[in-house]
Each structure stands twice: as structure tokens, then as C-alpha cells.
Amino acid sequence: MGKGFFNVPIAVNEPVRAYAPGCKYREAISKAYQKMYNSVLDVPMYINGKDVSTGNTKPMSPPHDHKHVVGHYHLAEISHIDEAISTALAAKENWANMPWEHRAGIFLKAAELIAGPYRARINAATMMAQSKTIHQAEIDASCELIDFLRYNVQYMTDMFQEQPESTSDAWNRLEYRPLEGFVYAVSPFNFTAIAGNLPSCMAMMGNVVLWKPSDSQIYSAKVIMDVFEEAGVPPGVINVVFGDPKMITDIVLASPDFSGLHFTGSTYIFKELWKQIGNNIHNYKTYPKIVGETGGKDFIVAHKTANPIQVATAIARGAFEFQGQKCSAASRAYISKSIWNEVKEQLVKDVKSFKMGSPANMENFITAVIHEGSFDKLAKYIDQAQADKNADIIVGGGYDKSKGYFIEPTVIVTDDPKYTTMCDELFGPVMTIYVFDDNKFSETLKLVDETSDYALTGAILAADRYAVVEATKALQNCAGNFYINDKPTGAVVGQQPFGGARGSGTNDKAGSILNLQRWVSPRMIKETFVTPTDYRYPFLG
């Protein structure tokens, strides 16, 4: 991307390691995984640079082995949230006044720690605690988080260099201040990188943060905070709390010093938080910034000119990597009738070849869904599809939670384009396909646009460029990230900034300068060199 401050290269995407059999890195991951699996980790909260234990704990277990306990985390009481807010506010002045290049240096160091000595640890933690395969952990916990940290420093550098024009009479300059008060980060289970980026990008801009990670991601969140602490993030800048989300959020959003929410999670929760902020608006010292990335009902459209093997591969990867638990995961597809038989044959073959089990066995492509609530929800939809006459499960459909929360990758074919699983967000390894007549491509594009309240990701596969152009135009409002001849997953920081609109969020594009601009309050300064001494203008004579 270029060079940042002091002419130092910053924004460079971290190379993805392959972890092929026999690779030394593969062995290092296995050792780290087994060490974590055979230990019991105590995870205290982190407030004002200190570990805070309460004795009131909850266990942590791998989703693929839910009876095995790998640790416990401590739950906050009301006093801990009050303390986190007060210590953040106490740390604010020194942190905000720290020269921005020194804040940048801290997070660049964090990136290098993850790229080097912490890489095996953060990947293994993500594999075990979130049931990601080694490849999915590598592209998330290592590479994407490293990229977030590096590129955000580059974007901050670019932002601060962006200045208004001056004249011989006056010097005009923009000062990028952090928001007043403190900000609140609420992060999801499915991406360790998102969990690290939400609090760190705000802190990088000089803000002080209260961070509540998902209960299902606390194990790897502990590694993130260990990295930030070693990198030199001062006490009070990022405070981490666990526990009752309603209690924590009620206290945070009631504070007059609350100034911003950075959220990734469910659409319903985000809307409820927005409403709560609105109800409290008269209490705040400043209008809070609200940034959110939420759900999706992400799609694949295959034109009659698409390559059937490419379509099948896009579905197999786009719908089933990480068990369909990516925000961007494909969960509905529209396939042109003339290529359907070839697509079906290859897709069924691919899905049947998947190996499923613990991520510790690196031959497995599929592992477990995140928790019992997710498992039960998905099983209910699969049972309904098996019973419905207008739905046909062509592969998969099994599930078992005796040891882990395992849902077989399942493909449903329906003749009803508004069938339940074509519309509802499932967040799991269930793909529903509607086959359309070749001569109804335009009507199908309209159907894709109108079917969902979400607008996160989508893809068109076609060899006919006119079809690509038509789809790109027709689907412009239903996907914030749109892919041509590819699966709708796999956004890379600096290449495809991520975010959607409609029910999918505020579309502030994580991994871009647009997101960082939300976490500053610009001040315009004009310095006049020769100050007037007479109020009279020439027109007065």
C-alpha cells in the first residue's frame, strides 16, 4: 500500500501459512493446542491494567468436546463496570495526549507479536475455543488481526496527513481528537480478528475503551489482551469485562460519558442497543457514535453461462467453511436450470467428501457449531425441511450433540423462493437452493433483492459479461460486499473493506479509513497571521 510515517512500510498483508503435513508450523500449532487442551486456564477480567477475579466463574469448553473444561472466566458485578468506566476516564487525558505515532508504535508492535511469538498460541486458542480448522484460524486470528493493526496505523497516518488548504493570510489545520468520554466495544464469537479490532482501532485513535467480548470467545480474547499488554497499551486504556450483557450494557449506556458503540453481533441486539441509546440521549455529554456490523442472508447467483464446477466450489466453501458461521457465509443460492444437474452432482460429491470432527485433527474440514443454542436452532430447521413437501434435503441433514455440537453440512433444494430457510438467517452449515428457469434471470435478480432484510454479501457467477453487469446493477442495494465469479466470503483488510447496509449494519467498512474516521472528533483551527484592526470594509467607503 505504500509507506507511513517516517517513510516506514506499514500496510502489508500478512502471508497465510499453509500448514501442510510435515510443516514445522503445523507441529507447533499441534503442540500449542494440546498444551491448552490439557490445561485449565483461569481468565480474570482486566481493569486498569490489573487482573480482576471475583470467584464467581463460568466454565469454558470446546464446542467440539463440550464436556471437557479448558478454563473458567470471572463474572463482573456492578462495581466492576463502574470501576472500568472510572479508570478508563482517569486514563483518558494521558492517552489522548500521547503523540499519535507513539500510539501507532504500540499497535504495530502488537501486530509483530502476533506474527511471531504469539502466532501458534492465538491460532490454537481460536481452534480450540471456537472450533476453527487451522486454516480458518490462520486467516482469522493471525493474518486478519495483523492486517487490521497494520492497515489501521496506515489509515491513521493518511488521515492525519489530510489537511485543508491554507493561504498567505492564514494557516488552516485539522486536529483529530478522540471522542469525549469513553467508548464501548461489543465483539462476537466468530472472528478473533474482529474481537481484537473493535477495541484496538478505537484505542489507536486516542479513545479509552470498555470491551465486552462474546462469552464463547473469551479464551482467545485473553490471548489478545496478553498481546496488547506486552505491546505496551497503558493501564486503563482497554478494560475487559465479562458477565451479564444486560447488566453491563445498562450501566455503560446510562453513563453521561458514553460516547460511542462499536458492535458486531445480531441485528436484533444492535437495534435494541440503538433504541436504548436513543432513550438515553438527553443524558449524554455528546452525541454517541454508533457503528455496527450485524447479520446477513448472503447469496450466490449462478447464471446459465457459469462454470458448474466453479459454482459448486463457491457453494461448498462459501456456505460450509467454519460451519457457515461467518457473517458473510452463503446460505441461499439461485442456480440456473440448465447448469443445475452438473452443479448438484459436484456439490453433493464435495460435501460427502468432507471430514468432520475436532480441529485438532487437521484432516477435518468441518467441526462443531459454537454452542447448544445454535445446534438446537439448526436442528429444528433441518427437521422442518425433512417434513415439508416443498423442500428436499439432497445431502447432509444429520446432527449429533452427544460429544460436540456437530451439524452435518446440509443442502436443501426448494421450489419455493420464499421458503423459510431462503429467508431466515440460520448462521450454520445449511444452504438452501432455488433453481430458476434460464429465461427468468432478470426476475430472479429482483427476487434476490426483495427476499431479505439484510444486505451484507453476495456473489454472481457468470461468463456472460452482460449478465454480470445486469446483476451488479440490480443487486447494488442488497450486498455491501459483492463478488464477481467468487464465493461471497474471504474479505481481506486493505483489499475488500467489510460491511453491509439494510439490516446488516451501518456499513462503515471495517478495515478502511472510513471506520477510523468515526472514532475521532475533528477540530478545525484557523490561525490568522495579520489580525485586522478596523471593522470597516472597502464597500463602506
Residues annotated as part of the active site: 293, 327
**Number of other residues whose CB lies within 10 A of the CB of residue 163:** 10
Question: Do the Cβ atoms of 209 and 183 come closer than 8 Å?
Answer: yes
Q: What is the DSSP letter of 154?
A: H
Q: Which of these, 474, 431, 448, lies nearest to 332 by C-alpha position?
A: 431
- Rounded CA gap, 12 and 154, in Å? 10
Task: Decide the pairing of beta strands 71-74 and 57-60.
Answer: antiparallel
Which set of grid coordinates corresponds to residue 274? Answer: 440503538
- How many Cα atoms occupy the beta-carbon half-sphere of 262 within 13 Å? 31
- Measured over the CA atoms of residue 532, residue 534, residue 539 and residue 541, the dihedral's sign is negative
Separation of alpha carbons 28 and 113, rounded Å: 16
Number of H helices, E strands in the chain: 17, 23
**What are the backbone angles phi and psi of residue 328, rounded to the nearest 5°?**
-95, 0
User: 366: which DSSP letter?
Assistant: B
Write out the three cell numbers for 180.
469525549
Burial class of residue 490 (count of CB atoms within 10 Å of its CB; 0-12, 13-18, 19+): middle
HEC string of 393-430 equals: EEECCCEECCCCCEECCEEEEECCCCCHHHHCCCCCCE
Strand partners, 42: 72
Burial category of 123 from C-beta neighbours within 10 Å (exposed 0-12, middle 13-18, buried 19 and up): buried
DSSP string, 228-297: HHHHTPPTTSEEE--S-HHHHHHHHHH-TTEEEEEEES-HHHHHHHHHHHHHTGGG-SSPPEEEEE----
Whole-angstrom distance, CA of residue 322 vs CA of residue 304: 29
C-alpha cell at 475: 443487486
